[in-house]
Structure 1
Amino acid sequence: MASAIIFSGQIPRQNFCFKAMAAATPAAMPFKLSSQFAHRNTKMGQQGICLRRQTLSKPFDNWRLNLIMPSAADSDDITFDQLSAALMIRNFYTCINEKRLKELDEYISDDCCFEDCSFVSPIQGKKEVMHFYQQLTTGMGHNVKFSIEHVCEDDNKFTAGVNWHMEWKRRQIPFTRGCSFYECSREGDRLVIKKARVVIESPIKPGGMVLTLLKNVTAIFDDFPKFAEWFLKSPHVIVRFLLKIYSRLLAPIVNPLLRGYVKIWGFVARLFVFALSILLHISKKYFG
């Protein structure tokens, strides 16, 4: 129950006291209390605050404040949850940036499910998830870091959402923006990640083609509802089927072309570096 502070009409010269009355009505409140305690259903008993003036040698120690109130730790009505999913996720990304894999392991639950939209199937289990993060931190090198933009958490559940991007020496890398959603669970006095879902920005920007594709797909679903129900129940089956078709029919043709394309670009890059080194050598010799 909110409390009102009632001051006496006269204040003595040397001593004055004021007490918080628990039975006062809300109409007698001279100001509004913080909504944070009202939200947590905090109930305060009778409290007293007493100020005594003392004669001291230092000019800034003329007043001493003595608080007389029940301890919050001894009251069953006041509960403060120290576990925060948002704070845990921030520490989690700090461990990734600093490559502290042993500490990172403590944030992953044994039955963790990691869903990355870049992969066909989710990663199951703590061992497989840690193997993924080990490869991730190795691929990041020494200069690539995650930069956290915003973190949001749910008050009722241990869930948190975060959007981020990657930087190289504090410069943003293109096409590395992403959003992650984490569901946590309590293990003793700490939180661990039970489920994670990651969506990463695609370098391909189809634009309005997505709306056209959506219109065509929904038209097919409406014309063939049984096929739509089967597809929505097992979409990975069709993906695996298309991959098999690609590996048997198109891979023998496409893969050599891709390898030749990569070799050509590698040769062009080496030729560019060679020409650049010659120009630098000439500039140093004649203009240095």
Structure 2
Amino acid sequence: MAPPHESALAISFPRLRPLSLPIISFSLRDHSGSGEEESHKALETVLKLYTAIRKRNIIDISDIIAKECRCISNLISSPQKFNGKQQVLNFFNSLMMSLGNSNIEFVVQPTIQDGLTIGVSWKLECKNTHIPVGEGFSFHICHVYQGKVVIRNVEMFFREPIEPLQMVRNV
């Protein structure tokens, strides 16, 4: 039986069909629109984040992180907070450096979407063997700034406390 908090999420938010990063195409237009369009753009923006991590592209990450972005994560060490775009970019840069040129990549599945708030379930797995080496979840709050959807808040956590990214480096 699922823990109570998982049931509440399934009831409160619609489930989305599974998506895989390599087959995602992006078509962000630079104008604001309806709430439904902004909601779709928020999902695209979050998926762009994981594509940029997979490609180890900090410039693409910088394009979608808001100036006042805040982040909390336990991926690199015990839970830490990062405030402001530069600290958040430093976190993602450290994350990508921890992954190095390994065969480890994020496989992402959106799980909840409520307007500009997006939840994703993810796992780190070996590209060649698809053996999972860790899994977690993230919540992203986006907002529209000058007609563009950007990420304002990131919460990114391993589900099971393991030696964050220590095991990944050995794969």
Aligned-partner SS, 1:106? helix
Q: Is the aligned partner of 1:108 residue 2:68?
A: no
Give the paired residue count. Answer: 124
Q: Which residue number in structure 1 is paired with residue 157 of structure 2?
A: 199
Match of 1:105, as an amino acid?
Answer: S
Distance 1:151 1:86 in 2: 11
Q: Is the aligned partner of 1:165 residue 2:165?
A: no
Q: Is residue 182–residue 197 contact of structure 1 (8 Å, CA) maintained in 2? A: yes
Aligned to 1:149, which of 109, 130, 142?
109
Aligned to 1:94, which of 44, 51, 55?
51
Q: Which residue number in structure 2 is paired with residue 128 of structure 1?
A: 87
Q: Does 1 or 2 have the higher relative contact order (CA < 8 Å, sep 6+)?
A: 2
State the 1:135 CA deviation: 1.2
Please list every run of at least 4 consecutive aligned residues from structure 1 whose deviation after the TM superposition is greater than 4 angstroms. 78-81
Aligned to 1:82, which of 20, 23, 37?
37
Distance 1:79 1:111 in 2: 24
Q: Is residue 136–residue 160 contact of structure 2 (8 Å, CA) maintained in 1? A: no
Deviations along 1:45-72, one digit per CA (max 9) or x if unpaired, are xxxxxxxxxxxxxxxxxxxxxxxxxxxx
Deviations along 1:177-215, one digit per CA (max 9) or x if unpaired, are 0000011111122111111112212256xxxxxxxxxxx
TM-score between the two structures when normalised by the length of structure 1 = 0.40
Q: Is residue 117–residue 142 contact of structure 2 (8 Å, CA) maintained in 1? A: yes
Q: Percent same amino acid among aligned pairs?
A: 24
Instruction: Name the structure where strand makes up a greater proportion of residues.
Output: 2
TM-score between the two structures when normalised by the length of structure 2 = 0.65
Distance 2:79 2:37 in 1: 37
Q: After the TM superposition, which residues 18-57 of structure 1 pair with which residues of structure 2 at under 5 Å, given as runs?
A: none
Runs of 5+ consecutive residues of structure 1 not aligned to the other structure:
1-77, 205-288
Aligned to 2:146, which of 158, 176, 188?
188
- Alpha-carbon distance change, 90 to 120 in structure 1, aligned in 2, over 3 angstroms: closer
Match of 1:159, as an amino acid?
Answer: T
Runs of 5+ consecutive residues of structure 2 not aligned to the other structure:
1-32, 163-171
Aligned-partner SS, 1:164? strand
Distance 2:35 2:160 in 1: 41
Q: Is residue 71–residue 83 contact of structure 2 (8 Å, CA) maintained in 1? A: yes
Deviations along 1:102-148, one digit per CA (max 9) or x if unpaired, are 11101111111101145344111111110111111122123211001
Distance 2:155 2:112 in 1: 15
Query: Rg larger in 1 or in 2?
Result: 1
